Amino acid sequence: MGSRASTLLRDEEIEEIKKETGFSHSQITRLYSRFTSLDKGENGTLSREDFQRIPELAINPLGDRIINAFFPEGEDQVNFRGFMRTLAHFRPIEDNEKSKDQNGPEPLNSRSNKLHFAFRLYDLDKDDKISRDELLQVLRMMVGVNISDEQLGSIADRTIQEADQDGDSAISFAEFVKQVLEKVDVEQKMSIRFLH
């Protein structure tokens, strides 16, 4: 009597995803409904076009970078596991998780992993450094055509200057973290709270 959608996700799979991402049973089934509703081709994977069909995401200046984060290197399709793994970065950090065992693998939604995620949005060539060019490109995405090249360049220079500590005119992950943590509560800003 179940519909096609819910019978495709078996209990064992739900358990595995629960362990890997920390989402609850009901959250996983809800997100699975969401996944299948986005999957217009009904082949169990999402393509970039499927994401682009979400109007609120398509108008987001960083929409393309965000969509890119779901797709592993060189691939054009993401399955449900991959979808959940990326979404897991935005799961809020629960209090009982803060002092979990240090021996286990770091949960996907730890503060460090959230920061890594944001860092990767800037680091276009994945060389673990944000260069001036990369920063300029991301800035250009965010401001569109409304700011001139010179002005944008100045903004980029200032930003790098402020954060750069070892003088190599590029921002490493450590410098990024130091800069960001001074101003912002990462757990709160990079989390999406589920209502139930």
Partner 1 sequence: MEVVWALGQVGAVWVALVLGLIVVPSALGVSLGISEAYMWLLVKTLEWATIRLQKSAKKPQPPRIPTANGIIERDETPMEKEIALLHGADFEFSHIFYFCRKGFEAIVEDEVTQRFSSEELLSWNLLTRTNVNFHYISLKLTVVWVIGVVVRYCFLLPLRFSLAAIGITSMIVGTTVVGQLPNGSVKNYLSEVVHLTCSRILVRALSGTIHYHNKENRPQKGGICVANHTSPIDAIILTNDGCYAMVGQVHGGLMGIIQRATVKACPHVWFERSEIKDRHLVTKRLREHVADKSKLPILIFPEGTCINNTSVMMFKKGSFEIGGTIYPVAIKYDPQFGDAFWNSSKYNIVSYLLRIMTSWAIVCNVWYLPPMVRKEDEDAVQFANRVRSAIAHQGGLTELPWDGGLKRAKVKDTFKEEQQKNYSKMLVRNGSVGSLSAETESD
Q: Is the separation of the CB atoms in 159 and 138 below 8 Å?
A: no
Site for partner 1 in 20-59 (CB under 8 A): 26, 29-31, 33-34, 37-38, 51-59
Residue 2 touches partner 1, criterion: CB under 8 A: yes
Chosen residue from 79, 122, 132, 137 binding partner 1 by CB under 8 A:
122
Q: Is the separation of the CB atoms in 76 and 48 below 8 Å?
A: yes
Nearest-angstrom CA–CA distance, 119 and 166: 18
Chosen residue from 17, 28, 108, 190 binding partner 1 by CB under 8 A:
190
Contacts made by residues 133-137, CB under 8 angstroms, sequence distance 24+: 135/159, 135/160, 135/171
Rounded least distance, CB 113 to partner 1, Å: 13
Residue 13 touches partner 1, criterion: CB under 8 A: no
Chosen residue from 17, 108, 118, 170 binding partner 1 by CB under 8 A:
118
Name beta bridge partners: 45.
79
Nearest-angstrom CA–CA distance, 1 and 153: 61
Of 142, 166, 168, 167, residue with least CA distance to 155: 142
Given the rule CB under 8 A, which residues bind partner 1? 1-3, 5-6, 26, 29-31, 33-34, 37-38, 51-63, 66, 87, 90, 117-118, 121-122, 138-139, 142-147, 151, 154-155, 157-159, 163, 171, 176, 179-180, 183-184, 186, 189-196
